[in-house]
Structure 1
Amino acid sequence: MWPTEYGDGKTMEAIDKMLTRLQTDYIDLLYVHQPVGDFVGAWRDMEKAVAMGKVRALGISNFDANDEVFGQIMTESRVKPAVLQIECHPYAQRLAMREKVKPYGIQVECWFPLGGAMSNGALLKDPTIMQIAEAHGKTPAQVILRWHVQEGFSVIPGASNPDYIKENIRIFDFELTDDDMAAIRSLNKEKRSLNATYEELEQMGKMPMRD
């Protein structure tokens, strides 16, 4: 749900339009995209959609903006978030946020798992990752995505190139060793590619939803 679709009644209307657009009777997992505006009102409608069978699970995206918004959604919600979607990769392993959601059993889902375009492929050129990739006969991207999977993350690499999509899915025929995993964990700098402030998230939320 984009912030322009947040609000009691407004969100339910947007969900119905989404179901029509997707030509389906239900949605497996529905997120609030960012914690701005009336996200609590949106959540209320999303909870109603769960009760009606239109949605099966709810998630929160970018609720790492500050402690207040995470605490608010956890306090205000009856249907608790099943998934938290945040930027996460070997250079920004988000250790504190992972610890915060652990008591709630919330699954961490990683966007920008390869660092994002604005990182200029820094992770793909990292010597440690390249060395591990060579040892396994895999690409750096495959090693990074395999690391995510073995860490227990849900991971969503964005790609439109068919070759990259095929490369990204071919990560289930090998396994990183304990030493490999430790080496990649040691790369953590908590250095994110997208460092939007809460105020910047608010401004983005006022823009029309992208198709």
Structure 2
Amino acid sequence: LWCTYHTKSLVEKACTNTLKALNLDYLDLYLIHWPMGFKPGDKDLPLDCNGMVIPSSTDFLDTWEAMEDLVISGMVKYIGVSNFNHKQLERLLNKPGLRFKPVTNQIECHPYLTQKNLIDFCRKHDVSVTAYRPLGGSSEGVDLMDNPVIQEIAKKHGKSPAQILILFQIQRNVIVIPKSVTPSRIRENFEVFDFELTEEDMEELLNLNKSEHHKDYPFHIEY
């Protein structure tokens, strides 16, 4: 659910548009993409004169009620959230009259942003975690996959840095969704079930944490 459709009356329309675009009768999973809404209209990213997003006055608790209606109507099977911090997720879970809790929270997650506290919170409340951008990005001009610690672990196991980063999430019991359009890399992304990272490997990867996000957004977000 994109941010310009957070108004309760627009949620069903947004889902209908998605179903038509995908030529489907229902979705297995539908997520609120961000906890904040943007000004509704023709522009996906409505910006003010300073280049910042124009927010809407919507509350994600109201948006969630419309998401729940999608489950009841059969348009979607499960609903979840994305980019919610623990305070926002806790507020949603404590919502009076909650009919369906989020099945997952999709968040940016990689060794430079391990998200341990948020993952622990989600696990405590039986909300699965989905890691997007698991291969990270650059930090101070150095790409995550070029990090010497990750390179050394990859060399030890005879695997690629990308495979190390994917298995890192799997062994944390985190759903991982790497993205690629290259057939050879897509195949490589699947070839992570014939080896195991040691406790020492996992500790080294966790110790790389910088609580660092790899994308600048034209709006303020609190983590």
Name the counterpart of 2:92. Answer: 73
Give identity over the alignment, percent: 34
Give how far 1:102 is off. 2.2
Aligned partners of 1:19 and 1:25 also within 8 Å: yes
Name the counterpart of 2:157. Answer: 136
Q: Aligned runs of 1:26-65 on 2, under 5 Å?
A: 26-37=26-37, 38=58, 39-64=60-85
Aligned partners of 2:106 and 2:132 also within 8 Å: yes
Q: Aligned runs of 1:67-106 on 2, under 5 Å?
A: 67=87, 69-76=88-95, 77-106=98-127
Q: Aligned runs of 1:61-210 on 2, under 5 Å?
A: 61-64=82-85, 67=87, 69-76=88-95, 77-116=98-137, 122-194=143-215, 196=217, 199-200=219-220
Aligned partners of 1:115 and 1:121 also within 8 Å: no
Aligned partners of 2:138 and 2:144 also within 8 Å: no
Give how far 1:117 is off. 6.0
* Alpha-carbon distance in structure 2 between the residues aligned to 1:118 and 1:127: 13
RMSD of equivalent CA atoms: 2.3
Greater relative CO, 1 or 2 (CA 8 Å, sep 6+) = 1
Aligned partners of 2:137 and 2:143 also within 8 Å: no
* Alpha-carbon distance in structure 2 between the residues aligned to 1:117 and 1:130: 15
SS in 2 for 1:194: coil
> CA distance change for structure 1 residues 190 and 55 in 2, over 3 Å: closer, same or farther?
same
Name the counterpart of 1:23. Answer: 23
Q: What count of residue pairs does the alignment treat as equivalent?
A: 199
Aligned partners of 1:119 and 1:193 also within 8 Å: no
Alignment deviations for residues 12-33 of structure 1 (CA, whole Å, 9 cap, x no partner): 1221222222122211111001
Gap regions ≥5 residues in structure 2 = 38-57
Aligned partners of 2:28 and 2:76 also within 8 Å: yes
Aligned partners of 1:90 and 1:185 also within 8 Å: yes
* Alpha-carbon distance in structure 2 between the residues aligned to 1:119 and 1:106: 33
Give how far 1:161 is off. 2.5
TM-score (norm 1): 0.84
Gap regions ≥5 residues in structure 1 = 202-211
* Alpha-carbon distance in structure 1 between the residues aligned to 2:181 and 2:220: 27
SS in 1 for 2:171: helix
